[in-house]
Structure formats: structure tokens, C-alpha cells
Structure 1
Amino acid sequence: MNELIHLRVVNQKFIMKLFTKIFFFFIILLISINAVNSQAAGFPAKPIVGTGKIDGLVVDSLSGEVISFASVVLREALEHKEMDGVLTDDVGGFKFKELKNAKYEIVISFLGYKTKIVGPYKINKDIQEHKLGTILLSQDTKLLEAVTVTGQKEIIENKIDRMVYNADRDVTSRGGTAEDVLRRTPMLTVDLEGNVSLRGSSNITVLINGKPSSLMANSVKDAIKMIPADVIQKVEVITQPGAKYDAEGTAGIINIVTKTKKIKGKSGAYNVSAGTRSSYVGTNFSIRQGNIGYTANIGGYMWRGYSRTTIDRFNKLNSETINLDQSATAHNIGGGLYAQASVDYDITDKHNLNFGLRTPVNIFSNTNRTTTAVGINEAPVLFDFRREGDILNRTLGTDINAEYKRTYGKDSDREYSASAQYSINNGRTKYDVNQFDSLGTLNYAEKGPNSSYNKELTIATDYLHPVNKLITVEVGAKGIFRNVTSDIYYDTLSINSGLYLRDNRRNNYLNYDQNVFAGYGQITFPIYKKITGRVGLRFEETFINANIQNETSFKNDYPTWVPSALISYISPKNWNVKGSYSRRIQRPSMNYLNPYINFNDPTNISYGNPNLSPELTESFEVQGGYSKNMNNINLALYHKITSDLIDNYRFVDSNGITNSTYNNLSTSYSSGASINGGIFKLGKIIVNSSINLFYQKINSERFKDVKNDGFNFTINGFGLYYLSKTWSVTLFTLYNSPKLTTQGKQGTWYVYSLGARKEIWKQKGAFSFGIDNPFETWMPINSEFSSSEFGFNSRSKFEARGIRAGFEYRFGQMDFGQQNSKKKKKGFQNDDLKQDENNSGGGGRN
């Protein structure tokens, strides 16, 4: 096994070095190409520029003050074609140069002011320069009355196949993590331990900028603590993905979009925040000159949490009932580095290359203390032992991706793309446990390191072809090649000799290969007037080859047909209705499969199951919405049937020990309704709220005691109030009902937050302040699980109150010239792995 491990490490280092060299080679190559672009063979020569100039100064017509950062667009006067654009500088000035002979007009706009068009101005051999002097902008009183919404995106946007939460408009999450952002996103629930669910289901896929990430490969719960809230622009929630998306993620897809810009010039920001539960310091910048652009985010973060738990349990073993009372405390602290960079190169206006690198580094520490008292039958419960454990988890992940995109003209949606991505996640977990008797004497100790490697290579190609203005055809293919390894061993302390000895009975080595090949076709077409249809079919074949040392080996492959359909009606009176159907598959991820046994509590052990089968979900949804003047309401009715449900299962073994693992035990039926809406024109107030109510029934055809049913609901609300042009305050609330499992339920909990933001230095800087649960020191959560052979009741308290303050400074000058609207990033979205509620992960789309 040592030789295998050594070979694996050598191969990993070789691959990483190879990809790193290739990545930086392409960066250097692109820089070189850009430098000699005008002479490179096969590339267009630099266009001939003129010598004309136009400049001016923009000021407020009433106060006479200069207006910084106003938008100034240069248009060709006859056809009104946009030629260039800039923002006014700190003193309200703007300048266009190198203008060819033609007639031009200038369009000037700024939030709260009426748009002004001046010109035309002729540039010819006789007139080469126009100095416009002072240009007065008049305030628009109607816009000023609704300054909170004009020219800005709504906080919640409903689109044809997704809901969008624009997180950069919410100041309550500033200085927090992605956990805080997702908790504020409609339809999503993030409990106090960080477990993410969508409409009550944790079977989700989480992407970053439309791509899978090694951040999510092992644990969404941990990964979302590694992404600072300040770098997130928006969150997209897709409940009914089409055929072009991976068939994985039975509940839907969550796409976290970070702040990136594709604009000319240089811009960036510094962010610093400090709080009682999370802190962050970092910077982001974008540079784009000509056809090449660079974007980077880098920062360091820290988070912490504290909890107390009491547990009452009983296990039935033959004719005896073993009663256990436990009390525990846990202190968690984590931190690390988050860095990502990308290079974007427009070879021509129809050919684009993009390269990206993301490297998260995370260290997580858990210190726990558990006291256990035991009693048999009616006997009193007496002290048995106390355990003190320390867990250290270190994770290094890397994503390297490259994408080529070909478009076919400004007026055509036709597009072809080819992409490749290599991801690796290297995790090491080390835990030390010491056990003491009633006299405080050490009577047992063990160490249990666990090394895991998750490697993934993805190759995909997609083609979109508009048959005409109303009919669009999409086809594509994809291959995903995964290898997961886990190396487990235990050392136990010999009390007599004081030495740690290897326990070979518990050693294990898992090597798990999973390859997925997929192809899809999808067509969008008109049915009748305002009615549009979309049908798609996807085929995926999965090949599994696993080897568990000291136990067994197995192979498996299964084909899956994944149909989807959507019909949409858009009324000219601002309302729409759509119905959809999709089939989804959910393959288990590493945390469900890993046979690593957690012995931190010897009376209650937990481990994964490498023999799990995938889930299959049939999903039906009808949705209607109304939107006018940025006010909106949306209602969705849905029904889902999930067979071979992967869920946590507890049982008592022959030694009286509670085992917690995963099985395909049951079928889940879920029916519900979700309502969300927003009011965006109450003077200076913005309000948004969502309600999700559903009935869930879980049955097992094989086990009589594996069943449950009940109603669940989630309510959240968001309010934003602009005190002035520079001051704003926000309020966020969330209430979540108990969550069902196959053998019980997890308790009710809620969150409420207040925030404030002050813009300074002509909106170049800002101070923000936020507080979570200001009137709650602890948040109680009670859970209960039971069967014919055990009972489990826990009462937990999590640290609830959190205070944070932050500062942001934005720098640089951005020029908004003509951009190719077809250059929207797609890339990878491997969303084909089911993620553990307590250690979740995700993937994406083809």
C-alpha cells in the first residue's frame, strides 16, 4: 500500500506541475500575442485610428458641482451606433481621442439626472478637435423620488428558468461568509451548522461562476465558510434545469457568481472586516486593455463557532435497555486563503479564450469534550467516562480550467464552445482522543489520521444553433473522469508501555473510480403566439470501479435517460405562467462513500457506505408570476418523487453501539408551494419576502420502522431603507420549521439580522455594520430520532449573536466600451454528486 500511496503522490505532483506550467505558458503566450497583435499572422491588424479629439466637463445644473463617474457614450451621429464610452473622472471631465473623420454625438447619463444628448460634432481634415466646455445635467425629480430602484437591479429577479438574488445589494451580509449570503437567498435554507437545502432537500449542486470547484468536492458545509460574502455578486437558484445541465442534483442547482468585470481600464477594491464570528481581509482587481483582460481575487478569512449539547439515549439489546446521558461542548475555528485568477483574450470579435485558476486553502480545528453516564434497565445512570478530542482538518484544492468560445456575429445567438477543467482536492484529517475514568485517570487514547484525494478531469463541448428567430437547437457532449482515494489507519495507546500501536484490524484503503459519459439535445420553439416550449433529452452512462482493501472490490455501470420539458406563456400584461417536468439523478459523493469510522464517541460511531446506489427523482412544477414597475410576485406548485433515497440511518449493533451511516432505504414524496414577492416603489423602501410550504412523506418497502411524514415550512423577509443618498439600513429575518428524516426530525430555528452602510468619498469607499440575532445569546435546536431498537433526543445550543464591521475602498477608472454580449461564460457545471447534509459538496452543468 505504501508503494501505491507513493506512486499516487508522485503522479499527483507531476500532474499539478504539468497543468501549472501549461497554464502559465498560455498566460505568457497571450501577453506576447497581445503585444504583437498588429503583426501576428492570422490575427487582424490594429485598425487605423484618427487624430480627432472631443472633451468636456459634466456638472450639476443647480449646484454647479462636478459629477464624477457619469456615463459618457460616443455615438456615430447618423446611425446612432455606439463607438466608445467612458466614465467621467474625479473632477467631472471626459475625453475621447484618436477619432476618425465622421459625425459624432455624445450621450451623458447619471443616476438621478435626465439623460442628455449633445452634438453632432464633425471631425474632418479641417476640424480635428472639439472642446465642449461645461455640460449641464438637470436633476430628474421622478428618479430622485425612486432613487432606491432606478438604474439598479432588483434584489430578487425571476427569470424563465431561475431565481436570482443580487447579494451585492444586501449590506447585512457584508463581512460575513457565503453561508450568510445563501441564508438570505429565497428558497434556500442554511441551518446553524451550515447545512444547505433547497425547498427542504439537501440533494443540491453548488457551482462557483457556473463551474464545479474543489471547494465543494468534499463539503459544501465547510466550503461556504471559505468564500467571503464581499466577493459574491449574486446567487442563482435553478429548480428545473434543462437537458444541457448535468442530470445530478435532484433538488436543483445553486450557482454562486463572484464579482468579476469585463470592462476596459483598471478597477478594484480593498475589503476589510472584523467580527465576533467571522473576519476577512482581501482585494480584487480587474485590468483590461484592448483584447486581453485579467481578473483576480485574493484574501484571508477566519470564522469560529461554539455549541453545547445534551443527549438522552437508550439502546435496546436483547432483553436489556441501555440508557445513556451525555453532555458535550464543541469549539470550532477555521480559516485560510481564498485566491482565484483568470485571463480572458478576444482573439477576434468572434473568437475568445479564457483561462482560470482557483486555489482555496483551509484549516479547520474542532475541540470537543463529552461526558457519558450509563445505566442498565431501571438502574440509576452513573458516570462512565469522559472523552476529550481534538480534530484538525487541512484542505488544499485547485481548479484549472480553459475554454474556447466561438460566436457568429452580433445579431446571431449561434455559439460553439469547448472546455476542459482539472480539479484536485487534497484533504488530511487528524484526530486525537483521550478517555478518562471517574477519577480522572487516562484509561484509553487513540489517533486516527485520514488522508483523502479527490481528482477530477472534465471535458465538454456545446453548440447552440438558431434555426430562425424563434427556434433554437442545442446539442453537447461531456466526459467526467473521477478518482477518489481514502487512506485510513488507527493507532491506540498501550497504557502499560505508553506507546501507540497500529490497530491493523481497522486499517483501510479505498480507491474509487467513477467515469460519466453524457450527451444531450434540446430544442426551444414557439407553440402559439406568446407560448414557448422547450424539450430536451439527455443520456448519461456511469461506470464505477471500487477497491476496498481488506474487504471487497466491486464494479457497476448504469445508463440513465433524462427527459425534460418546459412550456411558458408570457402575457403582454406583465404576467407569465410556465409548467415544467424533469428527471434527475443523484450519485453519492465522497462523504457518503468514505468508510472511515469516526470513533470520537465510542457509543455512537459514524461512517460512510461505499455500496450506495444513486437516487432518481421525477419532478413536476407549475409556476405563475406578475411583475410591473419592479414590483413582483411569484407562485410555484411542485411535486417530487425520489426513489432509493439516500438518507442517514441509525441502528444498534450486537455490542449495543449506535451506528450512524447511509442507505438507500426508502422513497420520498414531496408536494408544496412557494411564494415570493417584492415591493420596490414605496418611496425609499425595498421589501422582499418568500414562503415555502410543503408536505413530505418518507416510506420504506423493506423496513417497517423507516417512515415519516409531516408539513415543513420556511419564511424569510428582507427590507432595505435609504435614509439618504449615502446612508442605508437593512433587515433580514428567517424562520425554519423542523426538518424530517427517515427516523425523526431536526428542530426549529430562526435568524434575524440588522445592517447599516455609509458611502463616503463620492461613493469610492464605504463603512458597513451588521449584527445577527442581537437579542439572542444562544439559539436552541432540539432533534429526535427513534426506531424499535433505539431512541435519541438531543438539545443543542449554538452561539447566536454575531457582530461585524467592515470597510471597503474602490479604486481605478473603468471605460464601458462596446462589449460582445455573446461572451457570457459557461464552462463546467458538474452537478452529479449527492452531498452529505453534514459534509456536503457539489458540481454542475454540461
Structure 2
Amino acid sequence: MKFIYYSFSFFLLLSFSTFAQSKTGLKITGKVLDTATNQPIEYASIGVTDQQTNKMITGTITDANGAFEITGILPGTFTISIDFVGYQKKTLKDIALKAGDKPLALNTILLTTSVKALDEVTVVGQAAIVENQIDKIVYNAANDITSQGGAAIDVLKKVPQVTVDIDGNVELQGNPNIRFLINGKPSSVFGNSLADALASIPASQIKSIEAITSPGAKYDAQGTGGIINIILKDNRVQGINGSINLTAGTRLENGSANLNYRRNNFGVNAFFSGNEQLNSRKPSTQDRTSTNARTVTRLLQDGYQDFRRSGYRAGIGFDWDINKKTALIGALGYNDFRNRSDGFTQIQQSVTEGGIPISSSNIVRNSNSKGGILDVDWSLNYKRKFNKEKQELDILYSASIGKPDNSYSQVQTYADAGLPYSGTLGHTPGTDRQTNISLDYAHPVTKKFLVETGIKTVIQHINTVADISVFNASSGNYSSDPTQSYQLDYQMKVYAGYLSTTFSLFNYLNIKAGARYEHTSVLIDFPNTSIPAYDNFLPSFVVSRDFKHDQSFKLAFTRRIERAEYDEINPFKNLSDPYNITAGNPLLKPEIGNNFELGYSRSFKNGGNVYVALFERINTNDIKPYTTFYPTYQIGDSTYQNVSVTIRQNIGIEYNSGLSISGSVPLTDHLNIRGNLMATHKSVVNSLLAGNVTNGMNYRFNLNATYQLPKDLILEGFGNYSSAINTIQGKRPQQFTYNLAFRKQFWHKKASIGITATNPFNQYIHQVITVRTANYLSYNTILVPYRSFGISFTYKFGKLEFKKGKEPGNEFINAPSVEN
């Protein structure tokens, strides 16, 4: 609370100083009218250019009365340009302003319509939704009108080289170990439940998503699969503007509001969103056979889970261009994500020995589990440019405090008995504190040789308490079990430094090469657990060659590291299903990834583009969930029979060899097709099974078609398919989902309404997951409720953004860059 108080005071102080500063500047006012009708022209753009430097220094747009006002201008001589679609541009030169001058009133400015009537003009250019850059693919979600009613998880499904399954698990080029960032900064909210976090960020707040498959040495090395950076919308238009988004549906409801205020070189933005996945029932069955010598046990479980999820997010931020070369950016955010599952299961268990029945039982289990996290994160970013182009200093401090809280309960009763005979309660509250401090400096040695260097410190402190209670059949009460309860204290510190160079070789090749060094120390206060410190040298390079017709080739290599997250190291044993127990593993070693990529990209004049990549990913100390069967399993003073235990383990080495093709094709002026195709061969060498090798081939494909109808009506269809694939202990099923949507814009495109249908002809997605070990075979059949219908409404208010050059003092990139 002290931090919030000081931050709020700091925002007020900055606002006061900025507003006071604007009073010392000069002012220009005016009014823009149509020459023929004498009617005001709304949204005409006004640009002010310094005649000495020929740079645009500020600008604005006209209001509903055609009036405009520009303040905070320093003395000088300027050119003022007035422009609007369908009118001839007007330029006023040699506008001189001196210190102490009164406000300059330009009075009425008349614009004449162009020679061609507006209805004869055909706009052929379109804002690119997908951009191929040297080290990443950028998906501009703000330009994808039909995606605005969903959540971040829905937008990710459309990002090239990214796949999302029906449970919200995300992979980048087939690798699930991804570093997720928001506005280039990490957050503890991703460590507890990634699916909950991604399902609670409204798509309407997302400006773009960067899929970075070849991160350079400047980037944080966490995430063997690469980095996904979610950039939220910002706005640098003078005055007040914002948006409201509401969505109602059969499975998902959400609402969000964004508010932006800018005066001269100081801006404040705030947002709030609420999201809820309505209660849905997920039927499931398990048919499991286990063998112990001559004894065979068959377990049949038939039941359901009622699942629901909710999330709330709020935040405030500011950006202050102190002068033309210095900026200060700050943000404060609050997140609260929750989920709950209530289950009922009928259990039949039979035991045979040598084919002769020995025993059988019928059991009923009632269970529930709850999880969530309350998280507060904040950041302060100082940016400084120097006289040389690209010479920059960037200092970033970011931190977060997350309070994950998970619990479960289960009670079992024999079908022919009235009272339960066993049960367990578990509660694991915790705290996850993260602090990141980084300093980056870029220095251009020559125009074609850039050197970048920096240092970073990451400090993470996790504290978890597990309170376990066991049901006593004789007393009918639960009592605390000290043999299962524990306290975990986990501290990780990462110290990193890097050096990177960007240069041209023989005026032929563009090269970006560098190396990063990271030292990691871990202290853990858990019985019989010790983790030694380790060091990692992480080289990277990208070599590219540009050709005519907007074509380029690249060859990239990156070495990455995957350290376990909160839910992976927490040893808490979840007994909500006592026949299928899951737990974390505090002894996990970091996974190391060596990634190679050969890519070709081309952009076309009609707005189309294509990217083709061959990639090879080699992961050592590969981390995967691993299931082991136990005829009897001891936890504290309790003994469990016929149990499978799934814990994440360092399996061995995984090889992923693949081909990825993505592209966008405007077939006509109204029809656009975007598609992604990825084929991956996966080979895993399992050191836990004496080098046993598992091979599997996986195909993934999605297609998005958008059709622009008259009167601002847009239709869209989207389909996503992933084939089945062999895993180290069984098989993962195929998945197919599809969406149909249309959106109508009105009120001069300030508002829109959309209707979306997801899998409208199938209530469930049928999944059969196979797990096989030497003495264990399990078929889990899950019916995932996925059909949904929704309606959304979006309204934008205030001034609209217009295309312009750099604003006064704004020589910094608006979208936050990824931290190192």
C-alpha cells in the first residue's frame, strides 16, 4: 500500500510539473471549414514542422466544430500543414513565434475538395496484420477487427508459428517453454497459471503480439521456445480518448475500459477489465489397467467436473517526454485470477490374480479444487538518447508481488455405505516476489556498426506453506497431518551481462551477433534438497540478406535456457484424485535449448506476405511430465493403493525438426486469406528408460478468411487443426476447432457490434489421452465443452489518432521494447 501511495503521489507531481511547464509554451489556434459548404471539417490533421530542422514537432486534429488548439510550442519559425482525406492539402509557411507572444489565432482556414469526388477514390492499401521482421513475427491485433471480442488466448491462435490447444497450452514452433512478457516486462502472474492469465487479458486491450523465435543476446535467455511479448494499446493523441468493450456469451463474458489523457509531452493511461468463463461441465472417464507380478487391477472412473474461471485486471501508467532526448515511463498494474472445479466420480475397481477375481469395490468420490493468484506489478523506465543516431541508454526497474493460493478437497464413500471412509484437504497459500533491474546501452561506432551491451539482475523469492488434513473415519473429522504439511522457501538470483554487435559485411550480409552470460544461484529450504549454482554461456547470431522485390533470407542460431516456474517446483501433492496424484519437483535442472532457423520472407505490393522457415531445436535436460505407477504409495502416515504419480522430470534430449509456412494473401480487394502450416518431427531420447527413443510426427494448420462487405460489415471464418502425436508415454489426441464471426462498424467507425460462434455444430471436443508405462495402461476420455455463442460491442470516444511523424520530444518508440 505504501508503494501505491507513493506512486500516486509521483503521478500527481509529474502531472503538476508538466501542466506548469505547458503554460510557458506558445499557443496556436484556428478553425478548418469546407470552402464550398462553409461547414466545419472534423478530424482534419494539423501538423507543425520546424523550418530549421524540417522535422514535425507536434500536431493535433480538429474537433466537431472544426476547431483546433496546439499548446506548449517553443519559439521558432514553423510550417503548418492542414490535411484531410478528399481535400487538397494546405500549407502555411514562415509562421514565426517569439517568446512572450500572445496566442496566434489563424482564424478560419478553408479547404477545397480534391478534383476527384470522394466516392471515386479507391483505397488499395491496407494496414498489415502480420509483419515479418528479422528476429520475430508481429501480429497487429489492433488491425484485426473480428478478434476484439475475445481474450489474449484467442488472439494467440492466429499468430504465425504459435499453436494453442483447447486447454490453453501455448507452443511456439512446437515448444511449450515460452517466456511470456507484457509490454516487454515479466510478471509473477504467468508463473502460477498461464492459461488463467491469457484467458483474462481482453483482446480489445492488445495492440500487437510479438512471436520472437530467434531472440538475440540482448533478450532475457529464459524460455527455450522463444519469447511471446504482448503489447497493450497506447495512444499519444492530445486530449482525452478511450474505448469501452463489452462481450456476453454462453461460455465467456468480459468487459473492459481504456482511458487515455495527453497534454503536450505528458500522457496518462488507465484500464480496467473483468472476465468470466461461465460454469461448464466436462464429462470424463478413465479406463486403467495396472499389473504387479500376477496381480492385475482394473480401475474405471466415470464422472464430471464443473469448471469456471474469472479474472480482473486494472492498471495505470504514464509517459513523460522530459525533453527531445529524455523520457520517463512508469506503470502500475493489478491482477486477480481465480478458477474453481467441482467434481463427482463413480469408481469401480476389480482385482484379479492369475485371471481369478480376488476383490471388487464400488466407490463414490466428491471433490473440488480452487486456484488463483492476486498480483501487483510495477515498473519505471528511463530512456536517454544522445547526439549520435541510435546511441541510447535504457534503465528499467520492474517488480511484482504475486500471492498464489491453491487448495483441494476430496472425500470417498463406498457406494453401499452412508459415511465416507477416506478424504483429504490441502491448502497451499504462497508468495512469489520478482525484481528485475537492467541497464542497456547502444553505441554506433560507425553508421554501419552498432555495439550494444548491458547488465541485468533478476531476484525471485517464493515462499509456500502446505497445510494438509486427513479424514479420520472413526471420528468423522479432519485432522492436520504434520508428516504431509511443510513450508518451502525458494530464492533464485540471476546475474547477466551481454555484448551484441550489428553490422554489414561486404555490403552484402546483415549480421547481428552476440553472447550472453548468466550466473544463477538457488537456495531452497526443503528437506533433502540442495541445488548448486550454475553458469551459462549463451551465444546467438542472425545473418540475413535482402534482395529486390522485398525478399530476404536469414540464418539464425540462439541458445536459450528454461528454468522451472512456480507450479513446476512446488512439491505440493494434489490428492483431489487419490488414484492419479500430481506434484511439482524442486530438483528440476534447467533445460538448455540450441535453436537453428533458416528463413525466407517476401512482401508483396498488394499487402500480401509469406514466410517459410526450416528449424531444428535441440533441448538437453528436457523437462516433461512423467508418470510412474505404484501398487502402494506412502505420503506421510497415509498409504495409497494403485496410484499413478505424475511429476515433471528432466527426461533427456529432445530433437524437433520442422517446416513452417505462414502467409497472407489478399485474393481480391474484399477477401483476405491468412494461413499457417507447420510440420514437426519430434524425437525424444529418454534417459530415465536407458535411452529409449520416442518418435512422432505432428501437423498443424490454421486458416483465416476475412471478407469485407459493403457498409462496413466484415465476415470471418477461422479453423485450427493439430494432428495426434506420440509422446514419451503414450499419445496426445488430435484437435480441431473453428470460429465464425461477423462485425458491423457504425457511427463513423467509432462503434462496432460483433457476433461470434465457436464450434457451433459440436457441443464437445472429444479427447482420448493415452498413458503407457511398463506396468500401466490408461485411456482418459474427456469431453471438453467448447461450443459457444457471443455478442460484443465496442465504442471508441475522444479524438482519433492520425498518421504523423515524431511528436514533440517523442523520439522514442511508442511500443515498449523487450527487456534484456
Q: Same fold (TM over 0.5)?
A: yes
Deviation, 1:716, is 0.8
* 1:388 partner SS: strand
Identify which of 545, 552, 566 aligns with 1:569. 545
Residue in 1 aligned with 2:16?
Answer: 32
CA distances 1:26-81 after superposition (whole Å, capped 9, x unpaired): 2233123224437xxxxxx934x26x65432258x8x9986543433344678754
* 8 A contact 1:265–1:815 mirrored in 2: no
Gaps of 5+ in 1: 1-16, 39-44, 830-844
Partner in structure 2 of residue 675 of structure 1: 661
Structure 2 letter corresponding to 1:270: I
Please identify, of 451-460 and 213-222, the stretch whose mean Cα deviation from structure 2 is larger. Answer: 213-222
Partner of 1:116: 89
Indicate conservation of the 8 Å contact 1:419/1:827, yes or no.
Answer: no
Q: What is aligned with 2:413?
A: 436
- How big is the shift at 1:560? 0.3
- Which residue of structure 1 aligns with residue 286 of structure 2? 311
Report the CA distance between 1:587 and its aligned residue.
Answer: 0.8
Do the aligned residues in 1 keep the contact of 2:218 with 2:454 (CA within 8 Å)? yes
Rounded Cα–Cα distance in structure 2 between residues aligned with 1:643 and 1:297: 42
Q: Is the 8 A contact 2:665 2:673 kept in 1?
A: yes
Letter in 2 for 1:25: S
Change (3 A) 1:662 1:116: same
Residue 434 of structure 1 and its aligned partner are, at CA, apart by 2.0
* Contact preservation (8 Å) 1:56, 1:95: no
1:489 corresponds to 2:467 = yes
Counterpart AA for 1:575: Q
Evaluate the alpha carbon distance shift between residue 644 and residue 114 of structure 1 in structure 2; reply closer, same or farther with a 3 A threshold: farther
Deviation string 1:195-216 (CA, Å, 9 cap, x unpaired) is 1111221111111111112221
Which residue identity is paired with 2:282? S
- Cα distance in structure 1, aligned partners of 2:38 and 2:617: 61
1:414 aligns with 2:414: no
Aligned to 1:320: 295
**Do residues 467 (structure 1) and 451 (structure 2) align?**
no
Q: Where do residues 607-626 of structure 1 align in structure 2 (5 Å cutoff)?
A: 607-626=583-602
Give distance in 1, aligned partners of 2:811 and 2:47: 21
Q: Deviations over 1:302-334 (max 9, x none)?
A: 113432212111122232121111123112111
Shift of 1:117: 3.9
Q: Deviations over 1:166-201 (max 9, x none)?
A: 122334433322111112222111111111111221
Equivalent residue of 1:37, what SS? helix
The change in CA–CA distance for 1:225 and 1:430 in structure 2 (over 3 A counts) is: same
Matches within 5 A, 1:708-747: 708-747=694-733
Matches within 5 A, 1:100-499: 102=77, 104-110=79-85, 113=86, 116-120=89-93, 129-137=106-114, 144-146=121-123, 150=125, 152-304=126-278, 305-377=280-352, 378=355, 383-409=361-387, 412-439=389-416, 441=418, 442-499=420-477
What per-residue deviation string (whole Å, max 9, x for no partner) do you get for residues 359-415 of structure 1? 101221111122221122446795531211122224210101111111125x71111
Structure 2: how far apart are the matches of 1:173 and 1:813?
23
Alignment pair present for 1:763 and 2:739:
no
What is the CA distance between 1:301 and its match in structure 2? 1.4
Measured in 1, the distance between the counterparts of 2:76 and 2:686 equals 78
Instruction: Measure the CA separation in 1 of the matches of 2:67 and 2:737.
Output: 47
Aligned-residue offset at 1:115: 6.3
Residue matched to 2:622: 645
How well do the aligned residues superpose, as a CA RMSD in angstroms? 2.7
Residue-by-residue CA offset, 1:430-451 (whole Å, 9 max, x unaligned): 2221212112522223211111
| Preserved contact between residue 172 and residue 754 of structure 1 (Cα < 8 Å) | no
Query: Whole-Å Cα distance in 1 between the matches of residues 537 and 490 of structure 2?
Result: 24
Deviation sequence 1:224-247 (CA, Å, 0-9, x none): 112112211211100010000111
Alpha-carbon distance in 2 for matches of 1:828, 1:96: 29
Choose the corresponding residue for 1:585, options 555, 561, 578: 561
Residue 545 of structure 1 is matched in structure 2 by 523
- CA contact 2:168–2:195 (8 Å) conserved in 1: yes
Question: Cα 1:64–1:194, aligned 2, differ >3 Å: closer, same or farther?
Answer: farther
1:811-841 deviation per Cα after TM superposition (whole angstroms, max 9, x unaligned) = 1125767425542368796xxxxxxxxxxxx
Summarize the Cα distance change of 1:704–1:369 in structure 2 as closer, same or farther, 3 Å threshold: farther
- Distance change in 2, residues 1:297/1:101 (3 Å): closer
Q: What amino acid is aligned across from residue 220 of structure 2 in structure 1?
A: D
Letter in 2 for 1:258: L
The residue type equivalent to 2:565 in the other structure is S
Task: Report the secondary structure of 2:190's partner residue.
Answer: coil
Contact kept in structure 2, 1:171 and 1:756, CA below 8 Å: no
3-state SS, counterpart of residue 247 of structure 1: coil
Amino acid of the structure 2 residue aligned with 1:686: N
Distance, in Å, in 2 between the alignment partners of 1:115 and 1:504 is 81
**For 1:43-54, what aligned pairs fall within 5 Å after superposition?**
46-47=24-25, 49=26, 53-54=29-30
Aligned residues: 797
CA gap of 1:536–1:83, structure 2 versus 1, over 3 A, is closer
Select 1:85's aligned residue among 42, 51, 59: 59
Quick check: 2:196–2:309 contact (8 Å CA) kept in 1? no
* Deviation of the 1:617 alpha carbon: 1.1
- AA paired with 1:689? G
Query: Structure 2 vs 1, CA of residues 571 and 97 (structure 1 numbering), >3 Å: closer, same or farther?
Result: same
Which consecutive residues of structure 2, in runs of 5 or more, have no partner in the other structure? 633-641
**What is the CA–CA distance in structure 1 between the aligned matches of 2:786 and 2:231, rounded to whole Å?**
28
Pairing 1:507–2:485 present:
yes
Q: CA deviation at 1:84?
A: 3.4
Distance 2:361 2:520 in 1: 51
Give 1:631 deviation, angstroms: 1.5
Q: State the alpha-carbon separation in 2 of the partners of residues 390 and 618 from structure 1.
A: 41
User: Which residue in 1 is equivalent to 2:510?
Assistant: 532
Question: Partners in 1 of 2:571 and 2:429 — Cα distance?
Answer: 12
Higher relative CO (Cα under 8 Å, sequence separation at least 6) belongs to 1
Q: Per-residue CA shift, 1:615-636, capped at 9, x if unaligned? A: 1111111001111211211100
SS in 2 for 1:136: coil
- Residue in structure 2 matched with residue 6 of structure 1 by the alignment: none
Q: CA deviation at 1:809?
A: 1.3
- Using the TM superposition, give the Cα deviation of residue 527 of structure 1 relative to its aligned residue in structure 2, in angstroms: 0.7
> Which residue of structure 1 aligns with residue 637 of structure 2?
none
2-structure distance, mates of 1:199, 1:143: 45
Decide whether the 8 Å contact of 1:766 with 1:809 is kept in 2. Answer: yes
Asked if structure 2 preserves the Cα contact closer than 8 Å seen for 1:522 and 1:535, the reply is yes
What is the aligned partner in structure 2 of residue 802 from structure 1? 788
Question: In structure 2, the residue corresponding to 1:683 is in which secondary structure?
Answer: coil
TM-score scaled by length of structure 1: 0.89
1:523 aligned to 482, 501, 505, which one?
501
- Secondary structure (helix, strand or coil) at the match of 1:709 reads strand
Equivalent residue for 1:665? 651
Distance, in Å, in 2 between the alignment partners of 1:430 and 1:486 is 12
Q: Give the counterpart of 2:775 among 766, 777, 789.
A: 789
Report how far residue 90 of structure 1 moved: 2.9
- Please say if residues 696 and 725 of structure 2, whose CA atoms lie closer than 8 Å, have aligned partners that are also in contact: no
CA deviations on 1:122-144 (whole Å, 9 max, x unpaired) are 66999964522343246688995
User: What is the percentage of aligned positions where both structures have the same residue?
Assistant: 27
Q: 2 CA distance for matches of 1:188 and 1:772?
A: 19
3-state secondary structure, aligned to 1:757: strand
Counterpart residue type for residue 130 of structure 2: I
